[in-house]
Amino acid sequence: MSEAGGRKTAVVLFNLGGPDSLDAVKPFLFNLFNDPAIIGAPALIRWLLAKYISAKRAPTARGIYQMLGGRSPLVPETEAQGRALEHVLGHGFRCFIAMRYWHPFTYETVAAIREWGADEVVLLPLYPQFSTTTTGSSLKEWHKQAERQGLVVPTRMACCYPTEPGLVDAMADLAKAGHQEAAAAGKPRILFSAHGLPKSVIAKGDPYQAQVELTAAAVASATGIADLDWAICYQSRVGPMEWIGPSTEAELERAARDGVPVVIVPVAFVSEHSETLVELDIEYRHKADQLGIPAYVRVPALGCHPAFIRGLAEVIHRPQAFTGQACKRLGRVCPSC
């Protein structure tokens, strides 16, 4: 893309990141657990905990990534989304990726944007629902690295967009296809599965759970399916703390008791990665088979669905229409607002 003579806008896609080799699994996990947004202990204690947890979990995690070809697909998926978004945004826009816990790190992205000579920056988390543990953490890291490297250009933030029409339409489109497939085995139940959080995080005012509920309700309505059976559940629980629920496992058990097929819709993940390709596709599918659930259909993540990509372009072009709007509907204020 040529930007000669025009205004240059850098769009920064925030995401978690993932190891790009099996050797990267342990340091990736260390970076994750050494984040104050994940473990809120004093620095030295957090560092020691991160060393311990990453060493303990690395063998299991390496086994997971072996099933994915030895690396996370998240960066290639995000690169594809960036190219698709550039195509919709048109001349003068360029997408950059800033991963939180592995390459390309935020400091690398800041350096690339400085070299490109951006006139303005738009920060676009690929987390539709705001959480201090995801968007909040990426935003803090961005400000730290931008200040450290002297990147001083107008910067605006799209903090969350849980009910953006393009996102809702794309997810509803995929959910309807899954529902139709599962209907051959009976009246399906759609399970909107999101990554869980400890209850203590929500108790401190994190709006994530409430925003997940907004997304699920909007998508359920947009399917247009009469008398739709649907529920929200949370996956990926780790550690001894009490987490928000119900868990995806518990909802699978309820579906088995009710004898209904299930359609799993990733409601907070917009890209395929270990939580979808292994946890949902392998582990929960196996559990569903064990429980005797009539059918188990997993809907793809949004990826480069045209409606979703157009929706992201809308968030960039009209940030005032989205920033803070979800929180207003919920009667609260996001930390990023």
Identify residue 87 by its one-letter amino acid code. Answer: H
Residue 108 assigned to a binding site: no
Residue with tokens 């429980």: 291
Instruction: Label residues 238-270 b or e (16+ Cβ within 10 Å = b).
Output: eeeeebbeebbbebbbbbbeeebbbbbbbbbbb
List of E strands, the chain: 9-15, 93-99, 120-125, 155-157, 189-195, 229-235, 262-266, 296-298
Strand partners, 234: 194, 247
Tokens standing for residue 81: 């989304």
C-alpha distances (whole Å) from 17 to each of 100, 273, 331 are: 6, 9, 32
Cβ atoms of 244 and 197 within 8 Å: the answer is yes
Question: Residue 335: which residues within 8 A CB-CB, separation 6 or more?
Answer: 130, 132, 136, 205
Handedness of CA 289, 291, 294, 296 (dihedral sign): negative
Distance CA 86, CA 94 (A): 6
Nearest to 125 by CA among 315, 337, 335: 315
Residue 165 burial class via C-beta count within 10 angstroms: exposed 0-12, middle 13-18, buried 19 and up: middle
272 labelled binding-site residue: no
8 A C-beta contact, residue 168 and residue 214:
no
The binding site consists of 195, 275
| Binding site per annotation, positions for Fe(2+) | 195, 275
